[in-house]
Structure 1
Amino acid sequence: MATGRDVAQLAGTSTAVVSYVFNNGPRNVSPETRERVLAAAAELNYQPNALARALSAGKTSSIGLIVPNIANPYFGELARALEDAALAHNHLLIIADSAGNPEQETRHCASFLGRRVDGVILVSLFDNPDLSAFRRENVPVLVLHPIDHAHGVSSLTIDYEAAARDATAHLLDHGYDSIGMLNGLGETAGAQQHRAGFEAALARHAERNPGVTVRAEERPAEISRAAAARIATAWLAEPDRPRAIYSTTDEQAFGVLYAAHVNGLRVPEDLAIVGFDGTEQTEFAVPPLTTIAQPIRQISNRAIELLVRYVPDSPVHELFAYTLTRRSSCGCEPS
């Protein structure tokens, strides 16, 4: 592999001049010398060391992304949108998967610091992640979920509680007399917000429809199709199974669709289903899945913009609009 010294020798210049040519400075190079250097580089198939150039400038033009499970289509779509946005700013996106393991998330954080990324986009497994190491190294962090403002990092998200309320209200508007919610495991902030929205929709419905009883139940499951399918298969086999289920992720909703099939239930005639995230796959489920769609592209573009144009000590906390995408799985007419 050719080096800058090889190019300099062939072009009859110094290695410093080669550096000036490929870094556009800091000193000027005459047009004739620049042409000799570029011709020598082409002849030798010379590729400048991008990392070395970046480190000398104090920037690596790279952004780290940590997600809980890259196999989840939502995070796959998010990573793709973030990569497109990063490339538009001439940045490289480095993707790390914590695989649901808190220790692995911590290791990824340390690894990104070691690689001197210019910023980190984090979907954490923790409600209150330890971001002190990033603060010490002056590496900006942006999270894609609600976070305590005391952390001093930016956050971009939707209003999960309002979205859960709208999804549940939509099922109630169909007239279903029993509704289940398939939530995540544990008492995470996200699980609590979904529950709060679910309960708020039920309370509002009760106020507006006195004397009308709606049976409601929540059950937890890991955020995966397989886990949701196992929980829902048993749930739907019970004599008092719910008439409709709100799943707090599309992945869980796909598991519920499978469970309905196993139990010989028709969707939506016997069981109505609403998901959450708005992944591309929801349009091609059987039947197509009604879902709360997050604006992945808008969030991704804004996230990269904030990190590339980072302003120290000026965190932002922005809520994005979501969309209830109505399809057949909830009982709506096919569009």
Structure 2
Amino acid sequence: MATARDVARRAGTSTAVVSYVFNDGPRGVAPATRQKVLDAAAELGYRPNALARSLSSGRTHSIGLIVPDICNPYFAELARAIEDAAGVRGNLLLIADSALSAEQERRHTRSLVERQVDSVVLVSVCDEPDLGEFFEAGIPVVALHPISDRERASSITIDYEAAAQRATEHLLAHGYGSIVLLNGPVESTGARQHRAGFDRAVAGAEGVRAWTIRSEISRHDAAESAYTLLSGTDRPRAVYCTTDEQAFGVLYAAHRAGLTVPDDLAVVGFDGTRNCLVSIPALTTVQQPTEAMARRVVEILAGRTVNDDPVHEVLGFEFVARASSGGPAPGSA
């Protein structure tokens, strides 16, 4: 197996220069010399020792990702996008699934601290997650959802309130006279923003009945909640769901109740997973900028420390009208 000394000999440099190239410092290397080292390493099949690199640089070149449910296609797609973005920068992504459990999220927090990850991307099950262990260990955190102003973490998200308003206005433009908001199971920052956008849209719509129900963020629980709603005499004409997973459950419940979508019930989701294209019918949804979000979070975390001021960014979203809601609303562009 080739060593750094072999690479240095082939490239005509010192072993220190080889170290600088593969550790991105601490000293700079002229572009021509860097290329000689890389060419020599490729010819010899040299692979730097990850443990040695971490010991010399004080970094493990790893990013922790905590998600609520990796079985949810949105989080699976998000993890893949972050892994791709991290890999471009030579980082390994360690994925932890909290399984919708606050206690398991805390266990994963301790585990990532023990593994000395350089940084963490968090999608928490808690409205105000306890990030103290990360900050005590000097590990910066970026949350991919709205967080309280009291938190020290950075965040990247979309404007949930504006997205919810846009989705609800779409249903109103179709003339649906009764609309239900299917929100998450608990009162969280994100849930409040969904409700605020929904309420703003229906506030000016005369004669429209609107109310809220809740379910877990799973198609199975949403299907049960929706079936109870749709089997009653006072069923709504349309449902805005705060996740695609809930929307898929509503589609199943409508089928089970003998309803046709969108003729009897219009459905809108939120997240924009690829599964929206193969549901029956195709699901209207708010498309989150998953790949852009992944690239940006890795950019923010590169070289970041816990002493830096938090960064809070709001990215754009796209509303995609498909068959489940009746297609583009009348008069829309």
> With structure 2 as the length reference, what TM-score do the two structures score?
0.86
> 1:327 matched to which residue of 2?
322
> 1:314 matched to which residue of 2?
309
Distance in 2 (CA, whole Å) between partners of 1:56 and 1:204 is: 62
Equivalent pair of 1:167/1:292 in contact (CA under 8 Å):
yes
- Equivalent runs, 1:166-315 vs 2, <5 Å: 166-206=166-206, 213-310=207-304, 312-315=307-310
Equivalent pair of 1:180/1:244 in contact (CA under 8 Å):
yes
Distance in 1 (CA, whole Å) between partners of 2:204 and 2:48 is: 63
SS in 1 for 2:301: helix
The one-letter code sitting in structure 2 at the alignment partner of 1:23 is S
Distance in 2 (CA, whole Å) between partners of 1:176 and 1:317 is: 36
Distance in 2 (CA, whole Å) between partners of 1:154 and 1:309 is: 14
Distance in 1 (CA, whole Å) between partners of 2:17 and 2:49 is: 13
Cα distance, 1:18 vs structure 2? 10
Distance in 1 (CA, whole Å) between partners of 2:101 and 2:147 is: 19
> 2:133 matched to which residue of 1?
133
The one-letter code sitting in structure 2 at the alignment partner of 1:260 is A
Distance in 2 (CA, whole Å) between partners of 1:256 and 1:167 is: 16
Distance in 1 (CA, whole Å) between partners of 2:133 and 2:18 is: 34
Cα distance, 1:333 vs structure 2? 5.5
Equivalent pair of 2:148/2:189 in contact (CA under 8 Å):
no
Equivalent pair of 1:22/1:48 in contact (CA under 8 Å):
no
Aligned residue pair count = 312
RMSD between aligned residues: 2.8
Distance in 2 (CA, whole Å) between partners of 1:141 and 1:279 is: 25
Residue 3 to residue 106, structure 1, CA distance change in 2 (3 Å): farther
> 1:89 matched to which residue of 2?
89
Residue 326 to residue 139, structure 1, CA distance change in 2 (3 Å): same
Distance in 2 (CA, whole Å) between partners of 1:306 and 1:148 is: 19
SS in 2 for 1:185: coil
Structure 1's consecutive aligned runs of 4 or more residues displaced over 6 angstroms after TM superposition are 25-28
Distance in 1 (CA, whole Å) between partners of 2:192 and 2:150 is: 20
Residue 18 to residue 264, structure 1, CA distance change in 2 (3 Å): farther
Cα distance, 1:46 vs structure 2? 7.5
% same residue: 52
> With structure 1 as the length reference, what TM-score do the two structures score?
0.85
- Equivalent runs, 1:19-98 vs 2, <5 Å: 20=16, 23-24=19-20, 48-98=48-98
